[in-house]
């Protein structure tokens, strides 16, 4: 046994602690999409670098659970003799544990890295097997992880009022009022995006999402304790009402909530927070993060910023598309780099909002594809090239997908592209009364595909932050009505139906939209909401079969393209502008 292999080190540590096994999720304390190097325990232990996964280490066996996106990658990255790969949808970890554990086993977990719901599933699995689930004080991996990177220490900067639109003091006053109205004494914020939005702070602790990894506790008087190394804050980032305390004070601070009614978002908060509050004698109020809804409803300054950011982003994308058009031999990685370079020339650019997906031909059919040197390829004539990309600008976050014909597209590709476009237009044109959720609208994006016996296996739209995460709740457009919230003016969402033919091609047409009040038709009895499309970039007309569009759909497409031409044209060079004239000409 080689004591230098992480798995062996962990097993030895578990044995020292009297544990039969241990669960290693990919998440950190904040349950975010990205984790800092210091929290990449799963990657250190297994080598797996995907965005979702979980390992279980037992004395005699170990498993790594990944979903369908990562079944190939896991075999490249992980020693599958040591870690048995398991499909986490077909065999959820709790079910696997229920079968593999035996009576008397003691399964450990780090209560900072699991939500209460996740712990419930583990506990049920242990109960079925007659095993015991045990909270670990101190993560066993941290105890044996030599050369563990230090935690993030970059500066935390203010998000200027000119982009935020509302001061932290105003947001805090509203939050305090909301807490009082719900008879809640305090809220524990564990989502770094909530903290960033509330206090108008931004950071660089993780890629793509401009936040600092921090907790905060806000009380009904608007008092805030922010848990962040005080020296990380640039001077003047906060006004005096916020008490800044080192992260190590967080748990002791929770003890001070004894007897108070404390709101915790049980879908996001670590079990350790619930445990500590319960031990302190706080009355836990499981509910939703009270900053989520006000954060989702962008204010007029944020919406103006989003429009400006989308014009610059559209100009960069138009330059790229014009550059790419007819140019041979550009592979996926080169295309992504070139697109990023065009974007980086724009004002207020702060990086990509997620890693670009550039999938040519069959790679386009892999929904969460990322080019690697091994998969990288040049699209061939007759193929489709799917590009899903976005950027962080100080005034807004973008996310846009265009599917491009390389050479002459086939009739099947045009047929299916046009069905996807019909769904995209149906969402863009939707009007609906207040109280309508995104899950109610989802079918509009799928109806044309369904009529042809086709569909796509992802949501139609996710919420998008304002210089925050490109994936933001609670708003969404999806089949599932679970926890669906009503769409409200100012919410920003993606509108991205697709179609994927495995081994052949992928199609997705994605614009961001903002929920707006729609003009009332004559005789209207109920106020209507609708969508304002924010994204400005040509939709490849060579892939549109006009005979499949009805007159209203053709009118929408032509009007959208006219708008792209008018708004983007003045921002680009002459060559791009000439290309744009053709790319945005009326169809049919």
Contact 281, 254 (CB under 8 A): no
N- to C-terminal Cα distance for the chain?
Answer: 70
Contact call for residue 443 and a copy of itself (CB under 8 A): yes
Closer CB to a copy of itself, 102 or 451, in the complex = 451
Selected binder of a copy of itself within 106, 334, 378, 454 (CB under 8 A): 454
Which residue's CB is nearer to a copy of itself, number 392 or number 460? Answer: 460
Q: How far is the CB of 152 from a copy of itself (least distance, A)?
A: 38
Residue of the chain from 455, 573, 575, 581 that contacts a copy of itself (CB under 8 A)? 455
Nearer to a copy of itself, 442 or 496 (CB): 442
> Which region among 67-75, 218-226, 265-273, 452-460 touches a copy of itself (by CB under 8 A)?
452-460
From the list 441, 429, 384, the residue with the least C-alpha distance to 410 is 384
According to the binding rule CB under 8 A, does residue 447 interact with a copy of itself?
yes
Q: Contact 31/119 with Cβ under 8 angstroms? A: no
Is 143 or 452 the residue whose CB approaches a copy of itself more closely?
Answer: 452
The answer to whether residue 431 forms part of the interface with a copy of itself (CB under 8 A) is yes
Of 164 and 449, which CB lies nearer to a copy of itself in the complex structure? Answer: 449
Selected from 70, 250, 432, 579, the binder of a copy of itself by CB under 8 A is 432
Closest contact distance (angstroms) between CB of 407 and a copy of itself is: 23
* Binder among 27, 126, 444, 536 for a copy of itself (CB under 8 A): 444
Q: In whole angstroms, how close is the CB of 80 to a copy of itself at the nearest point?
A: 32
**Dihedral sign of CA atoms 428, 433, 435, 441 in order:** negative
Burial class (CB in 10 A: 0-12, 13-18, 19+), 551: exposed
Interacting residues of 389 by C-beta distance below 8 A, sequence separation 6+: 317, 336, 339, 340, 352, 354, 356, 357, 358, 399, 400, 401
Q: Could you tell me which stretch among 8-16, 73-81, 427-435, 564-572 binds a copy of itself (CB under 8 A)?
A: 427-435
Q: Round to whole Å and give the CA distance between 477 and 494.
A: 8
Residues contacting residue 555 through CB under 8 Å, at least 6 positions apart: none
Q: How far is the CB of 441 from a copy of itself (least distance, A)?
A: 6
Q: Is 437 in the site for a copy of itself (CB under 8 A)?
A: yes
Binding of a copy of itself at residue 120 (CB under 8 A)? no
Instruction: Decide if 163 contacts 177 (C-beta within 8 A).
Output: no
Nearer to a copy of itself, 297 or 528 (CB): 528
Bond from prior residue into 474 cis (ω within 30 degrees of 0): yes
Candidate residues 440, 532, 542, 548; the one interacting with a copy of itself per rule CB under 8 A: 440
Question: Counting contacts by CB under 8 A, is residue 308 touching a copy of itself?
Answer: no
- The angle subtended at Cα 268 by Cα 266 and Cα 273, nearest 5°, is 70
Q: Which stretch binds a copy of itself (CB under 8 A): 304-312, 380-388, 480-488, 489-497?
A: 480-488
> Rounded to an integer, what distance in angstroms lies between the CA atom of residue 131 and that of residue 103?
5
Tokens at residue 274, please?
């619930």
Residues touching a copy of itself: how many (CB under 8 A)? 33
From residue 419, how far is each of 55, 512, 550, 562 by CA, in Å?
A: 40, 19, 12, 22
Which is nearest to 211 in space by CA: 220, 199, 225? 199
Tokens of 307: 């429009």
Is residue 181 within the footprint of a copy of itself (CB under 8 A)? no
- Look up tokens 């994936």; give the residue: 471
Question: Which phi-psi region, left, alpha or beta, contains residue 119 (left: φ > 0; alpha: ψ -120 to 50)?
Answer: alpha
Residue from 3, 138, 453, 574 that binds a copy of itself (CB under 8 A)?
453
Binding window for a copy of itself (CB under 8 A); candidates: 24-32, 60-68, 191-199, 448-456: 448-456
Residue 480 binds a copy of itself, judged by CB under 8 A: yes
Q: Which residues of 24-63 are buried (b: 16+ CB within 10 A; e: fewer)?
A: bbbbbbbbbbbbbebbbbbbbbbbbbbbbbbbbbbeeebb
CB 428 → a copy of itself: shortest distance, Å?
A: 14
Minimum distance, C-beta of residue 430 to a copy of itself, in the bound complex (Å): 8
Specify the residue, 359 or 438, whose C-beta has the smaller distance to a copy of itself. Answer: 438
Binding characters for a copy of itself, 407-426, by CB under 8 A (x = yes) = -----x--------------
Region from 81-89, 196-204, 320-328, 433-441 binding a copy of itself, contact rule CB under 8 A: 433-441
Check residue 433 for interaction with a copy of itself (CB under 8 A): yes
436 lines the binding site for a copy of itself (CB under 8 A): yes
Q: Is 104 in the site for a copy of itself (CB under 8 A)?
A: no
- CA neighbor of 476 nearest in space, from 490, 491, 489: 491
Q: How far apart are CA 422 and CA 544, in angstroms?
A: 10
**Binding segment toward a copy of itself, per CB under 8 A, in 29-37, 105-113, 444-452, 580-588:** 444-452
CB of 481 to a copy of itself, least distance (A): 2
Distance CA 19, CA 46 (A): 19
Options 60, 137, 374, 482; binder of a copy of itself; rule CB under 8 A: 482
Q: Please report whether residue 60 would count as binding a copy of itself according to CB under 8 A.
A: no
For 214, the token pair is 């921090």
Between 138 and 411, whose beta carbon lies closer to a copy of itself?
Answer: 411
Element (H, E) at 57: strand 54-58
Q: 292 with 267: CB under 8 angstroms?
A: no
In the set 139, 291, 403, 439, which binds a copy of itself (CB under 8 A)? 439
Q: Is 441 in the site for a copy of itself (CB under 8 A)?
A: yes
DSSP H helices, 406-550, are 411-428, 438-451
Q: Cβ closer to a copy of itself: 261 or 541? A: 261
Site for a copy of itself in 320-379 (CB under 8 A): none
| Three-state SS at 349 | strand
| Structure token digits, residue 196 | 């960033």
505-564 residues near a copy of itself, rule: CB under 8 A: 520-521, 523-528
Binding site for a copy of itself (CB under 8 A): 412, 431-433, 435-437, 439-444, 447, 450-455, 479-482, 484, 520-521, 523-528
């Amino acid at each position: 046994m080689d004591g230098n292999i992480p798995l062996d080190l962990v097993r030895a540590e578990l044995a020292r602690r009297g544990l039969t096994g241990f669960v290693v999720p990919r998440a950190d304390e904040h349950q975010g999409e990205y984790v800092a190097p210091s929290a990449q325990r799963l990657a250190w232990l297994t080598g797996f670098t995907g965005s979702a996964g979980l390992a279980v280490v037992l004395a005699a066996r170990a498993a790594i659970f990944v979903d369908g996106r990562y079944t190939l990658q896991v075999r490249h990255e992980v020693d599958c003799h040591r870690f048995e790969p398991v499909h986490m949808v077909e065999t959820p970890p709790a079910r696997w544990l229920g079968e593999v554990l035996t009576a008397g086993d003691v399964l450990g977990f780090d209560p900072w890295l699991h939500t209460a719901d996740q712990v419930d599933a583990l506990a049920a699995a242990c109960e079925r097997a007659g095993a015991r689930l045990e909270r670990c004080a101190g993560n066993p991996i941290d105890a044996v992880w030599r050369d563990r990177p230090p935690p993030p220490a970059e500066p935390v900067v203010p998000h200027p009022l000119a982009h935020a639109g509302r001061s932290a003091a105003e947001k805090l006053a509203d939050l305090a009022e909301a807490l009082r109205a719900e008879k809640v004494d305090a809220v524990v914020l564990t989502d770094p995006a909530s903290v960033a939005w509330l206090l108008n702070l931004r950071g660089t602790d993780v890629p793509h999402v401009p936040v600092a990894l921090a907790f905060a506790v806000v009380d009904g008087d608007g008092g805030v304790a922010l848990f962040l190394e005080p020296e990380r804050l640039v001077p003047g980032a906060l006004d005096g009402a916020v008490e800044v305390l080192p992260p190590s004070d967080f748990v002791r601070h929770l003890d001070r909530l004894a007897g108070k009614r404390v709101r915790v978002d049980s879908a996001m908060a670590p079990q350790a927070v619930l445990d500590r509050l319960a031990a302190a004698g706080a009355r836990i109020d499981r509910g939703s993060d009270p900053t989520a809804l006000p954060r989702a409803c962008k204010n007029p300054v944020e919406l103006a910023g989003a429009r400006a950011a989308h014009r610059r982003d559209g100009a960069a994308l138009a330059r790229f598309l014009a550059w790419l058009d007819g140019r041979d031999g550009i592979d996926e990685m080169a295309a992504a780099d070139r697109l990023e370079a065009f974007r980086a020339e724009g004002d207020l650019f702060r990086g990509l909002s997620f890693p670009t997906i550039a999938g040519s031909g069959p790679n386009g059919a892999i929904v969460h594809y990322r080019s690697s040197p091994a998969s990288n390829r040049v699209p061939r004539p007759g193929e489709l090239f799917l590009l899903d990309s976005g950027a962080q600008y100080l005034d807004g976050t973008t996310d846009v997908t265009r599917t491009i014909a390389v050479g002459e597209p086939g009739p099947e590709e045009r047929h299916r592209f046009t069905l996807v476009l019909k769904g995209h237009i149906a969402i863009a044109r939707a009007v609906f009364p207040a109280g309508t959720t995104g899950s109610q609208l989802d079918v509009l994006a799928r109806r044309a595909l369904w009529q042809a016996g086709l569909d796509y296996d992802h949501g139609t739209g996710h919420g998008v932050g304002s210089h925050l995460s490109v994936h933001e709740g609670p708003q969404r457009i999806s089949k599932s009505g679970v926890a669906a919230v009503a769409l409200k003016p100012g919410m920003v969402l993606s509108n991205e139906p697709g179609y994927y033919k495995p081994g052949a091609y992928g199609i997705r047409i994605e614009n961001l939209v903002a929920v707006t009040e729609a003009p009332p038709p004559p005789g209207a009895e109920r106020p209507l909401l609708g969508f304002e499309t924010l994204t400005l970039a040509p939709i490849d007309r060579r892939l549109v079969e006009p005979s499949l569009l009805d007159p209203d759909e053709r009118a929408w497409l032509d009007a959208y393209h006219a708008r792209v031409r008018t708004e983007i044209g003045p921002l680009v060079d002459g060559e791009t502008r000439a290309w744009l004239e053709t790319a945005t000409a009326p169809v049919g």
